[in-house]
Amino acid sequence: MNLLVKSIKIADPKSEFNSKTCDIRIEKGSITAIAEHLTANKNEQVFEAAGSILSPGFMDLNCMIGDPGFETKEDLKTGTAAAKAGGFTAVAVQPSTKPVIHSKSEVEYLLNKAKGNLVDIYPLGAISQNLEGKELAEMYDMKTAGAVAFSEGNKTLTDDGFMSRALQYALGFDGLLITFPENKAISTKAHVNESENTILLGMKGIPALAEEMQISRDLFLAQYHGAPVHISNISTAGAVTMIKKAKKDGIKVTCDVAAHQLIFTDDLLSGFDSNYKVKPPLRSKADVKALLAGLKDGTIDAISTQHRPHEIEFKDVEFEIAAYGIIALQTALPLLLQAGLSPELIVQKMALNPRKLLKLETPVIKVGSKANFVVYNPEQKWQYTSQNNYSKSANSPLLNKELTGKVQLVYNNSQYQSYE
């Protein structure tokens, strides 16, 4: 169906219409006209968007969808439904499934199953067989089949020699490794940030040192091999400082931060709500301030959701035995707006840079281009409830709360979905 979006402010630094308020016509999946005043054609759906913003569709670098094997947590249908409602037209899915995405057959399975969806699915292949950190997975074969990068999910490659060999191997075919920054020997079996607050709560903490030691290891290896590495979900002020220096030194490093790390702090743990149990753990206000500064100065390249769905029996238990993670696809945008991020910064960190990191084509809001965009109202308030939660899981501390910043429309692959 053809579509006319009226009176929309465009946020796309690659577009000649950036920061301008225009009407946009979409016909047969492509943008055919952009002007200040367009008259609606016959058989054209009109979407009034005064006060809203249109940007290229968001892309998530770090999303867990349980297909195959963990469909009781999330499947492709519910995962992409939640992604659409959050403004995402593309998601990179983690290999932590059953079976693990560690060969071309699993990559092909995901791509075939996701065909025809509004949301583009990009598989991340495992670095090691079965995520065990012992034998290299079939990374080259997975890349030729369609894997966009390689990850161990929320697992850390503890063997320095294995990580070194993986970087060297991936460099041979321009592969990108995505690492999770946690030194397990330092973090041990702790569950929260190490701080005065968590000590008072009687919980053993994970120090910032655990994250920063692992980042240091990966930076040394990346420098030694001249290989790129992407560090996902950094959470400490020290991590920002280290990566900023590494970039100045010419090391090929990029990184992202989870949206919830820009708002939530370990002060929220006083109620022992397991929905705040994430890894890396919620840190201090000083860390949040440093992360926001790192986003603004370009040290942090992208923002991810770290969407981790879980059945109720994994979260509605004592804090210490609860699973890590929250569902986050639908709530990333409101958190970024709450953190004070501008539309320009949001489009850079949520739409453009994620695709650039994975060497994917970046949508541009211009005449003649394929239509791939999100429309959202940054001031619209809405209630996040079980009725409008599209995920199969419900492990979010934001459920039944009023949020500000509402996705109203997403368009991609000649399909659109509105949320009025």
Instruction: Tell me the C-alpha distance between 314 and 101, whole Å.
Output: 23
Distance CA 416, CA 44 (A): 13
Q: Please count the other Cβ atoms lying within 10 Å of the Cβ belonging to residue 201.
A: 16
Place of tokens 């753990």: 281
Distance from C-alpha of 140 to C-alpha of 206, rounded to nearest angstrom: 35
Structure confidence at residue 95 (pLDDT): 98
- pLDDT for 35 equals 97
**Fold designation for 56-357:** TIM Barrel (3.20.20)
Q: What is the pTM of this model?
A: 0.97
The CA-based dihedral angle spanning residues 38, 44, 45, 47, taken in that order and rounded to the nearest 10 degrees: 0
| Residue 183: partners with Cβ closer than 8 Å, 6 or more residues away | 156, 209, 210, 211, 213, 214, 217
* Angle subtended at Cα 410 by Cα 383 and Cα 264, rounded to the nearest 5 degrees: 45
pLDDT at 110: 97
Check residue 145 and give its pLDDT: 98
CATH homologous superfamily for 2-54+367-394+402-418? Urease, subunit C, domain 1 (2.30.40.10)
**What is the radius of gyration, based on Cα positions, of the chain?**
21
CA dihedral defined by 128, 148, 67, 409, rounded to 10 degrees? 150
Q: What 3-state class would DSSP assign to 330?
A: coil
Return the pLDDT at 316.
Answer: 95
Pick from 40, 49, 31: nearest CA to 380: 49
Euclidean distance between CA atoms 355 and 376, whole angstroms: 20
Tens digit of each residue's pLDDT, the chain (420 residues): 799 999 999 999 999 999 999 999 999 999 999 999 999 998 899 999 999 999 999 999 999 999 999 999 999 999 999 999 999 999 999 999 999 999 999 999 999 999 999 999 999 999 999 999 999 999 999 999 999 999 999 899 999 999 999 999 999 999 999 999 999 999 998 999 999 888 888 989 999 999 999 999 999 999 999 999 999 999 999 999 999 999 999 999 999 999 999 999 999 999 999 999 999 999 999 999 999 999 999 999 999 999 999 999 999 999 999 999 999 999 999 999 999 999 999 999 999 999 999 999 999 999 999 999 999 999 999 999 999 999 999 999 999 999 999 999 999 999 999 997
pLDDT at 197: 86
All structural domains of the chain with their residue ranges = 2-54+367-394+402-418, 56-357
pLDDT of residue 1: 73
Select from 95, 222, 83 the least CA-distant residue to 147.
95
Strand 401-412 relative to strand 415-418, pairing? antiparallel
In whole angstroms, what is the distance from residue 70 CA to residue 222 CA? Answer: 33
CB 218 within 8 A of CB 266: no
- Return the axis-axis angle of helices 208-225 and 160-171, rounded to nearest 10°: 40
Please indicate whether the domains covering 2-54+367-394+402-418 and 56-357 agree at the CATH topology level.
no
pLDDT reported for residue 218: 98
Which is it for the CA torsion 40, 43, 47, 53, positive or negative? negative
Count, residues in the chain: 420
Rounded-to-integer distance, Cα 78 and Cα 84, Å: 10
H helix or E strand, kind and range, residue 161:
helix 160-171
Q: How far apart are CA 186 and CA 190, in angstroms?
A: 9
